[in-house]
Amino acid sequence: MQNTVHVCAMIYIVLYISEKEIGMHSKNIVRFMHLWLILLFLCSCVIKNLEPPPESDRNIADIFTIGPEDVLKIHVWKQPNISVTAPVRSDGKITVPLIKDIQAAGRTPDTLSTEIAAKLKKYIEEPTVTVIVAAINSLKVSVSGNVNAPGVYKVRGVISLIELISLAGGLNEIANDEQVRIVRRTQNGEENIYQINYYALVNGDIKKNISIYPGDSVIVP
């Protein structure tokens, strides 16, 4: 970062002196270079915060919540007529006998089982409810930019950066493999951007093969 600032400062001084000594046409070119230099400086300021994300910042077992397209098995002990297998609809709800629609998306299986049991108490004495995720379809990551097959991919949990890039068909010939970005949303809703040197990764720096979590977005410039 310091080297970038020093270089920018030196170039700016040269351009400033040049503008005093050259004609109008050349001045326009120099002014354009001024703008380019400012953009370069701003980009360098942003890049300094793009260190690789810590591997211990999330635990998929702790953060998993039910989402649309997941399939749930609702088992009510000794109540086969109420026990059902239900897909989570696009509105995030499922239908359970007696209690009809209930919000499932955004809940953990344990939380949802507790809520279903509480609603069933109106009809059943001390219901025991278990919620099992029969199929996980809501966990997704996206890959955009200079890959051969950009898009949104379903995952069953945490995968590595190399695995995800492979799913997306690998980098194309114009990709900037030294500045692959990972956009990750924190639990409080903020977005962090990390930068990985993918070229270094595929050439032996295995520490850069970071974990990609459901909800992450990978951008290849």
**Amino acid residing at 149:** A
CATH code of residue 185? 3.10.560.10
What type of residue sits at position 56? S
Q: Do 170 and 115 belong to one domain? A: no
Higher per-residue pLDDT: 20 or 53: 53
Q: Tell whether 157 and 119 lie within a shared domain.
A: no
Question: Does residue 85 share a domain with residue 108?
Answer: yes
When pLDDT is cut at 50, 70 and 90, the band that residue 156 belongs to is confident
Quick one: 27 and 78 in the same domain?
A: no
> What value does the mean pLDDT take over residues 156-178?
95
pLDDT of 13 reads 45
Of 111, 135, 159, the residue that ends a domain is 135
pLDDT-derived band of residue 4, with 50, 70 and 90 as boundaries? very low
Residue 56 resides in a domain: no
Residues 38 and 76 in one domain: no
* Residue 209 and residue 157 share a domain: yes
Q: 70-81: per-residue pLDDT in tens?
A: 999 999 999 999
pLDDT grade for 15, boundaries at 50, 70 and 90: very low
Are both 107 and 163 inside the same structural domain?
no
Q: How confident is the model at residue 54 (pLDDT cuts 50, 70, 90)?
A: low
- Give the three-state DSSP class for 164: helix
Indicate the residue type of 108: T
Residue 53: inside a domain:
no
CA distance 92 to 88: 6
The verdict on 212 and 182 lying in the same domain is yes
Residue 17 has pLDDT above 50, yes or no: no
Q: What range defines the domain where residue 33 resides? A: 2-47
CATH number of the domain bearing residue 119? 3.30.1950.10
Report d(CA 80, CA 19) in Å as an integer. 84
Of 169, 164, 205, residue with least CA distance to 181: 164
Using CA atoms, how far apart are residues 15 and 147, in angstroms rounded to an integer? 38
Q: Are 157 and 170 members of one domain? A: yes
pLDDT in tens, 118-141: 999 999 999 999 999 999 999 999
Whether residue 38 has pLDDT greater than 60: no
Overall pTM > 0.95? no
Domain count, the chain: 3
Q: Report residue 15 as tokens.
A: 């351009």
Residue type, 62: D
pLDDT confidence bin for 33, thresholds 50/70/90: low
| Listed residues 135, 168, 197: the one ending a domain | 135
Q: Where residue 191 falls among pLDDT bands split at 50, 70, 90?
A: confident
Q: Pick from 88, 120, 135: which residue ends a domain?
A: 135
